[in-house]
Structure formats: structure tokens, C-alpha cells
Amino acid sequence: MNLQIRAQLRRGDFELSVDTQWPAQGVTALFGRSGCGKTTLMRIIAGLERVPGAQLRFGDQCWQSDAGWTPVEKRRIGLVFQESSLLPHLSVAGNLLYGYRRTPRALRRLQLDEVSAMLGLESLLTRAVDQLSGGQKQRVALGRALLCSPQLLLLDEPLAALDTQTKREIMPFLSRLAQTSGVPVVLITHAPDEVQRLADRVVFMRDGRIDDICSLQQALARPDSPLFADEGPSSVLEGHLGPMDAHGLHLFGERGSQLRVQAPDETVSGSTRLRVLARDVSVALDDPARISIRNHLVVTIRQLHELPGNRLLLETSMQDGQTLLIEITPWSAQQLGLAAGQRVFALIKSVALMR
């Protein structure tokens, strides 16, 4: 099932022109600078913006064409914006159930108890919304949208109004929602860490147009990826996080590609993602034994990419097939005689558990 969009819109100096489609499953991130057209595109999808001549299909449903128009209330879309916009006269439970009670019984797919558990709201149900923190309010807004049993969930920068610590607290709940709700999500963001933590695919937008649509791994494999603008190239590795051992470390990933990582005490085992900055990885031709860096992986060099600033990016393949990016200097590559197809040891100095 795909989401298909064709639309053209001009307002002053701004022009939106898109003719595209992507799978309506998992999390699709619309990524780009402010003003590139992300929110306008989302409003067209939601039915909040009626653009003459636009074509819009969700699976086998035609939401807009020359022959007809489906209003927003008939599209069964869940919407969450930067501000939670909760109803102040209702409790948390009242807000959560507001759309649920207005959804026909036959269309209800999610219940209050499972959504409350998914978003960690069980202990907050009787509270007034003015007693909630910013992160708690956004979790209630997400739960309210889910309890409408939407076909599609649209999130317009849902973390933008939160401080760094609150973002860190709400991210695991947002990730759990994406993994377990079964509802396809379109996420607007200009934060690379949100894309890396949550997205399955990325729609890169610029100046009202779509530059590219690719999987997260394809996006991260591009040496010039816009996701690298802040901290430089990085790899996002997916795998299973094991229980904590006697040294306070967790095993992550499959045999041959396993890493030992630190995690907060409250972290639970299970499927997760790790981020490894390319500049935090070194290369060795032999496996060094007497060294403080303990994560040593055998990888195969696929390609070497020149980067600005006298830097070189090695695109390598781990034994489980995932891509690991390594940033070194051209001089180091020359001294080691590195080339495509060569097997080397990647020494990973640090990893970040993406919570």
C-alpha cells in the first residue's frame, strides 16, 4: 500500500511541486530546512489544504482528484502538532477518550489500556492536564490521536517545543509507538537525531521539491547526506540489546558483529538502534590486543569517498551486512594501503544508544 501525491502550489515566492509516492508503512520522515514545504505537504495529505488539480491516494482510497474530495474528518487521520492542544476541562483519560468515543465502534482498533501502556500514561489517567509536564502532554496528544484508530498518523515536529531533556525522555515512547501501533507514520522534522532514531525511510525536501526518497540506511550511506550537517557522517546499527553483564555492559548485535555497549540502568533488552559517529572509528590492518578500545570488528571496505577538509570516508560492510562508516585522513589511507574489497579491523571508540 502506497501514499501517492501529486500537487502544485504557488504562494508569493514559494512554490511546492511534488509528484511522488512512498510505502504507507513504518515511519516516513519528511526532512529539510524550515520553509522547504514539509508542513504544506503534510496539510495537503491531511486535507487541511485543498489545492486545485492535486491528486492524492492512500492505498485504494482516492482522497483527492478532479472527480472528488474527501474531507479531513473522513480520511481517518491522526494529527499531532508542536503544541499538544489538550482540552483543559478534561482529565488525561477524558482527553485520550475524546476521539475514541466519536469513532464508530466497528473502526476501533486500539483501546485505552493498551495505548496508556504503550505511552506510559497509566499513572496519569486521573490527572488534570494543567498538572502535566510538556513531555507528558505530548504523550497524551499522541495517545489521543492513536485512540481515534487512524489509518495514518501525521506528526508535525512533535518534539520541537520540548527542551533537550524532555525530548530524551519522550523519544523511547515515540519509538515504541512507531514499532507497536501498526499505524503508518509521517514525521516532519529538521532534527537528524530524530530521523536516525525513528525513521524507516527519509523524504528529503528542499525549496518545495523532493530531492530523494530512500531507506534510512541508504540515506546514511550517502557521504553528502543532509543528515550529516551537524555532527558529520554516522552509522545507525539495528540489533538486539542483551541483558547487562557483571561489568555493566550489554551485548548488541549478532555474532561477528557484536558490540559491548553501556546503557542506562533502566534500559530494557530488546530490539534497538545504536549510532556510531564515523569520526569515533579507527582502522587497523591487524587486530591490536593491548589497547583500551574493546570493540574490534572485521569489516570489508566497499568504497572510499573524499570529503571536504582533507578527510576520507570509508564505507564498509560488517559481517551482518550493515554499513559502518569510518572517517580518516587520506594520509592514513595511503600509509595503510587501503582499497575497496580489503578486510580490515574497525576499532569503535564509542557508541550512542539511541533511546
The pLDDT of residue 290 is above 80: yes
- The pLDDT value recorded for residue 231 is 81
pLDDT tens sequence across 117-154: 989 999 999 999 999 999 999 999 999 999 999 999 99
Find, among 246, 250, 288, the residue nearest to 268 by Cα: 250
What one-character-per-residue DSSP string does 7-74 give?
A: EEEEETTEEEEEEEEEESSSEEEEE--TTSSHHHHHHHHHTSS--TT-EEEETTEEEEETTEE--GGG
Helix H or strand E encompassing 219: helix 216-221
Map out the domains of the chain as residue ranges: 2-230, 235-353
Q: Which residues neighbour 122 within 8 Å (Cβ) at sequence distance 6 or greater? A: 116
Helix H or strand E encompassing 252: strand 249-252
**Average model confidence (pLDDT) across the chain:** 91
The pLDDT of residue 355 is above 70: no
- The pLDDT value recorded for residue 345 is 97
pLDDT band per the 50, 70, 90 thresholds, residue 166: confident
pLDDT band per the 50, 70, 90 thresholds, residue 19: very high
**Alpha-carbon distance 217 to 39, whole Å?**
24
pLDDT tens sequence across 198-234: 999 999 999 999 999 999 989 988 888 888 877 889 9
Q: Which residues neighbour 220 within 8 Å (Cβ) at sequence distance 6 or greater? A: 196, 227, 233, 234, 235, 236, 323, 325
Q: What is the mean pLDDT of residues 154-165?
A: 88
Pick the CATH number of 2-230 from 1.20.120.160, 3.30.565.10, 3.40.50.300, 3.30.420.40: 3.40.50.300
Pick the more confident residue, 346 or 181.
346
Q: Do β-strands 61-65 and 55-58 pair in parallel, antiparallel, or remain unpaired?
A: antiparallel
Equal fold, 2-230 vs 235-353? no
- The pLDDT value recorded for residue 266 is 65
- The pLDDT value recorded for residue 162 is 85
Whole-model pTM: value is 0.88
Domain 235-353 class, CATH top level: mainly beta
- The pLDDT value recorded for residue 178 is 80
The pLDDT of residue 310 is above 80: yes
